[in-house]
Structures are given as C-alpha cells and as structure tokens.
Amino acid sequence: MAETGHPIHKYLRSSKKFPHIWCAGCGIGIFMNALIRAIDRSPYTRDDFVLVSGIGCSSRLPVYVDFNTLHSTHGRALTFATGIKLANPRLKIITIMGDGDAVSIGGNHFIHAARRNVEIAAFIVNNQIYGMTGGQCSPATPYGVKTTSTPYGNIEQDFDICRLAEAAGASFVGRSTVYHTRLLDKLIDRAIEKKGFSVVEVISQCVTYAGRWLGLSSAVDMMKWQKENSVTVDKAKELSEEERKGKIVIGILADVERPNYHEEYAKLIK
C-alpha cells in the first residue's frame, strides 16, 4: 500500500501481515487508529518507540504496525518492557494488553510495574472477556454474566482496573471507551508524554462473545451502550454510589509526580 496523507498508511505493515485476525465490529481497530494518530502527532520518530504485547486479541496489534515491536508471552508484556526501558532508557515504551492478559496472569507484573513507576505507557483494551480463546470469563467480566466458562453466571466480582492501577502507584491513570474517540486521543497523548508508569483503560466491544452474553447483537448496539453508560469524572462526583453503579467513569482518574524507576536505577549504578 502506498503512503497517503492519512497517518495510518505510514505505519501499517500492510504488505506483510494483512488481512488482520480481528472480527468485524471489533473495537481494537479504533484503538489502533487512535494510537497511530497519537504517535504521528508526537515529536518522536517511529524508531524511538517500542511496542510490546502479550497474548490475546489486542496483543496482536504490534504485529500490524511498523515500529520496533515485541510480541511476548501471556501476561508478561510489562516484564519485557521493563527490561527494554532499563537497557535503553531513551526509548518510548508502549505496552498493549487485554484485560485477561494484564490483570489475570499478568496481574502481579502489573501491580509491581505501577509500584516501581517504570516509564511505560500501558494500554489495556478491556472487552470484559477472553476473546481469542473462546469467550471465557476474565477478571473484568461483570458479576452474573454468563460466558463459556461460567454458563450459570459469573459468581466473582470484576476488577476496577483503574482503581487497582492508582492504588498500586501509577503516575497517570485514565479511562475511555472506543466510542469517545476524542477523549481516547487525549489520554493516549498524555500517557505517552508522562514521565512514569501510565495506564489507560480502553473499554472496547467484543461482538463475537461479550455481545452475545450481554444481549447486544451488533457493534453499533455495543457502542451505543458505551455512550449511554459512560459518565465523566466530574459528573461521577455528583452521583451517589447507587447512581454510579454500572456506569463507566471516563477521563483522567489520577495524575501525580513520582520518582521514575529507570532514573533512580541510573543514580544507583552511578
């Protein structure tokens, strides 16, 4: 594919890796577009970035884009990313993870990357399910929802990924849906620029599995659901706990300054 004026055409490995594996209506493509736009707006070159992923639908994203990329093992994206940042601190490190990848098998790595405040922009595409392996329950699947692995309903409470990130020590925490593309662009920009561990939770739709269990039959229905069930951080403060129940709180949830791990490590070596 020849490069055109659209940024995405400069960064896709279109001659090698397409067609992609994502289902029609999947929200990961919206996120990929937003990420590419942010990188294109940034003052960095493509060689300044390293994109690291684990295993899952969203973790296939680095395969399709023309940067320094590493497709690692399940739940271990942040460990590989930490090693790269310490080995070459000038690089801008981005991790792409799913909800199961990041906070199930990768949960311990996620907590300690936040605690250490490693300078990584961590993007978690949350479709509330394991999409690649058959629609099983994930740590982000809501209580009571039927899935392949919970045919009588999920009896576990779901993680609030952003609250977990903030409590563990992340410097920047934000949440958007793929419906709210302007907000998503803003949060990605902020996460890339932040000097510390940044987390952006991206609420996305899985039409093939999550939509089936939630009774939403199309990507349009699922994105309408995102729109109608989202409230901004400021609006959420005006709501009672009961009124906030089931709502997606979107916006910047935390933005603090903390010592950066690779800089502290460099002082120790010196």
pLDDT digits (tens, 9 = 90+) for 54-70: 999 999 999 999 999 99
CA angle 102, 108, 113 (to 5 degrees): 80
Give the model's pLDDT for residue 155: 94
Distance (Å, whole) CA 189 – CA 150: 37
Give the model's pLDDT for residue 1: 40
In DSSP notation, 54-109 reads -SSSGGGGGGGBSSEEEE--TT-HHHHHHHHHHH-TTSEEEEEEEHHHHHTTTHHH
Whole-model pTM over 0.85: yes
The rounded mean pLDDT for the chain is 91
pLDDT by residue (tens digit) across 14-25?
A: 777 778 889 999
Give the model's pLDDT for residue 48: 96
Confidence of residue 10 (pLDDT cuts 50, 70, 90): confident
Q: Which domains does the chain have, with CATH numbers?
A: 8-269 (3.40.50.970)
| Structure token digits, residue 36 | 């590419």
Positive or negative torsion for Cα 126, 224, 185, 175: negative
Q: What is the mean pLDDT of residues 252-256?
A: 97
- The DSSP code for 191 is H
CA angle 7, 9, 14 (to 5 degrees): 150
